[in-house]
């Protein structure tokens, strides 16, 4: 069944059936918000977006590794210096460990500065609420993320002003990340302040310690080789690229931040100067962007597993933007359907354009990933294969079934099996996609949402510092554990 695609525009998705839609009571209010959003300036530039796409082409070719991570859902209240510093430093440390082990450059994309909207399995939920006769069970709208409604059960009506809240919180977040990076936050010449006191097993402590010693050695060597830490030029080892990403779920918002970039914008035929957090020089490997549409709210956006219908509104929106995109793929995706989606979103076969984000679950990856690889291999599509080791591995806690959790062992198993399956098939696992946080409570303790890892968290420990309002995240220590294990597996 082949169809000629109809004309695309940032709003052509409105003609298609849409999953996970939000119903707003006051349409005039929504329109006022959207016209304001359409006037607001971009958060990221086409030059940065094109640079990421070219780096992802390297990932697809096995020349770099993609680390993508962050919260399941950001909250407006977490837009504050401490939590942002913790998130950024964790991703930087993980990337350092992976680079050291794998000897590959790492492309870092965070689920940040816009990861607010959440798809839900049910539009409503039952909660206990105080009523005239004491506490009563009440059915209320589900929490859809801070850009739609509030987590508080009394604040569940969708409010269009939250879309503006999302824009401004994204802006503040991104501004702080850029500021940190420009101020030397990512300077690898700074002393590494590692503590492994959380690691229970002496063998693992020793192994981690050895990696860090060797890492420090390499950095010392580089300091001497490059003539000291106070070099004149930015770039190199003093700072790094950080890219942003979110699930592009609320298409009204994404449409309002989709901007046409005509060739006339690039003066005298040259690529526009880099607005990257780090590099002040244009990248000569990049061509000036032509007449294209860019989603300027984020560098990378992805389609969720619940909204990737071939004839649906989200696939329609995604097929027209020049950003690199992700497609979540789980057990319910037929191999032939996967190829049809790729044909629609990447008709020009642009390298680095599409990342397939597998989220099968440790127990299912062997059953479903091989057929997806075979189907794509039989085409001329070149994709980044990424393993989201979180979303197929969510379980209920045994001690408190109201808490969702994930087992570290399942997460590692899905990553390792993905690496092995790709090796057997002659393809490459290009990256991982993780829900993680470096956040700590007032006493400095990491969150306790996933079970296992070198600190050996148990089911009964979960309630100690369980903070997520959405999916359970790897904590600081567990995330570093993943990085060490990844580094080890990517070595060979």
Size of the site for Mn ion (CB under 5 A): 2
Task: Say which residues have a Cβ less than 8 Å from residue 12's Cβ, sequence separation at least 6.
Answer: 6, 316, 317, 320
Tell me if 447 sits within 8 A of 475, measured CB to CB: yes
Largest CA distance in the chain: 75
Looking at 162, 299, 359, 407, which residue binds ligand PEP (CB under 6 A)? 359
User: Which residue is it, tokens 């500065």?
Assistant: 113
Size of the site for ligand PEP (CB under 6 A): 10
Task: Say which residues have a Cβ less than 8 Å from residue 41's Cβ, sequence separation at least 6.
Answer: none
Question: Hey, which residues between 383 and 402 contact ligand PEP (CB under 6 A)?
Answer: 391
Nearer to Mn ion, 72 or 181 (CB): 72
Q: Does 72 bind Mn ion (CB under 5 A)?
A: yes
Contact pattern for Mn ion over residues 73 through 112, marking x by CB under 5 A: ----------------------------------------
- Measured in residues, the chain has a length of 492
Looking at 388, 471, 477, 481, which residue binds Mn ion (CB under 5 A)? 471
3-state secondary structure of 162: helix
Binding-site residue positions for Mn(2+):
72, 391, 435, 471
Q: Does 72 bind ligand PEP (CB under 6 A)?
A: yes
477 binds, among ligand PEP, Mn ion, none (CB under 5 to 8 A by kind): none
Q: Does 119 bind ligand PEP (CB under 6 A)?
A: yes
User: Which residue is it, tokens 């879309």?
Assistant: 163
Q: Which stretch binds ligand PEP (CB under 6 A): 1-9, 145-153, 155-163, 302-310?
A: 302-310
Nearer to ligand PEP, 289 or 391 (CB): 391
Nearer to ligand PEP, 188 or 387 (CB): 387
Q: Does 331 bind ligand PEP (CB under 6 A)?
A: no
Q: Does 473 bind ligand PEP (CB under 6 A)?
A: no
CB atoms within 10 A of CB 286: 15
Q: Does 112 bind ligand PEP (CB under 6 A)?
A: no
Tell me if 158 sits within 8 A of 148, measured CB to CB: yes
Residue by residue, DSSP assigns 165-205 as HHHHHHHHHHHHHHHHHHTTTT-TTSPP----TT---HHHH
Q: Which stretch binds ligand PEP (CB under 6 A): 287-295, 303-311, 333-341, 437-445?
A: 303-311
Q: Does 87 bind ligand PEP (CB under 6 A)?
A: no
Cα–Cα distances in Å, from 187 out to 223, 229, 231, 351? 12, 9, 12, 31
Task: Say which residues have a Cβ less than 8 Å from residue 42's Cβ, sequence separation at least 6.
Answer: 257, 259, 294, 296, 297
Q: Does 372 bind ligand PEP (CB under 6 A)?
A: no
Residues in the site for ligand PEP, rule: CB under 6 A? 72, 119, 247, 304-306, 328, 359, 391, 471
């Amino acid at each position: 069944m082949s169809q000629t695609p109809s004309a695309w525009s940032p709003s052509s998705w409105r003609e298609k059936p849409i999953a996970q839609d939000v119903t707003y009571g006051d349409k005039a209010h929504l329109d006022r918000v959207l016209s304001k959003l359409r006037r607001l300036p971009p958060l990221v530039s086409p030059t940065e977006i094109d640079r990421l796409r070219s780096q992802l082409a390297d990932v697809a070719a096995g020349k770099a590794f993609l680390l993508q991570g962050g919260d399941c859902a950001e909250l407006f209240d977490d837009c504050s210096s401490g939590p942002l510093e913790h998130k950024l430093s964790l991703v930087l440390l993980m990337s350092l460990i992976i680079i050291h082990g794998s000897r590959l450059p790492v492309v870092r994309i965070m689920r940040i500065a816009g990861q607010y909207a959440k798809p839900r399995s049910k539009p409503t939920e039952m909660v206990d609420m105080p009523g005239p006769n004491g506490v009563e069970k009440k059915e209320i709208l589900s929490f859809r993320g801070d850009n739609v409604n509030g987590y508080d059960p009394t604040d569940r009506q969708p409010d269009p002003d939250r879309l503006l809240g999302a824009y401004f919180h994204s802006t503040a977040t991104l501004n702080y990340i850029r500021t940190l990076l420009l101020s030397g936050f990512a300077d690898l010449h700074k002393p590494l302040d590692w503590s492994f006191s959380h690691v229970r097993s002496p063998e693992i402590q020793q192994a981690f310690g050895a990696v860090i010693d060797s890492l420090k050695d390499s950095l010392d060597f580089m300091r001497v080789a490059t003539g000291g830490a106070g070099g004149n030029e930015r770039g190199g080892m003093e700072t790094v690229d950080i890219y942003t990403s979110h699930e592009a779920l609320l298409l009204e918002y994404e449409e309002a931040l989709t901007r046409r970039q005509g060739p006339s914008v690039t003066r005298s035929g040259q690529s526009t100067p880099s607005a990257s957090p780090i590099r002040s020089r244009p990248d000569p490997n990049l061509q000036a962007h032509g007449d294209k549409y860019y989603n300027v709210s984020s560098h990378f956006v992805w389609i969720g597993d619940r909204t990737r219908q071939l004839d649906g509104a989200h696939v329609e929106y995604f097929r027209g933007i020049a950003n690199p995109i992700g497609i979540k793929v789980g057990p319910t995706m037929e191999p032939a359907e996967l190829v049809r989606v790729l044909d629609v979103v990447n008709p020009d076969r642009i390298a680095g354009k599409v990342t397939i984000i597998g989220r099968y679950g440790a127990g299912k990856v062997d059953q479903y990933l091989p057929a997806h690889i075979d189907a794509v291999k039989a085409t001329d599509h070149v994709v980044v294969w990424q393993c989201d080791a979180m979303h197929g591995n969510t379980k209920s806690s045994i001690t408190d079934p109201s808490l969702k959790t994930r087992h570290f062992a399942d997460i590692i198993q899905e990553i390792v099996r993905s690496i092995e399956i790709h090796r057997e098939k002659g393809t490459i696992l290009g990256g991982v996609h993780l829900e993680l946080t470096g956040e700590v409570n007032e006493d400095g303790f990491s969150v306790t949402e996933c079970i296992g890892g070198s600190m050996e968290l148990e089911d009964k420990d979960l309630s100690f510092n369980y903070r997520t309002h959405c999916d359970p995240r790897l904590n600081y220590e567990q995330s570093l554990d993943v990085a060490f294990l990844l580094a080890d597996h990517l070595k060979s």
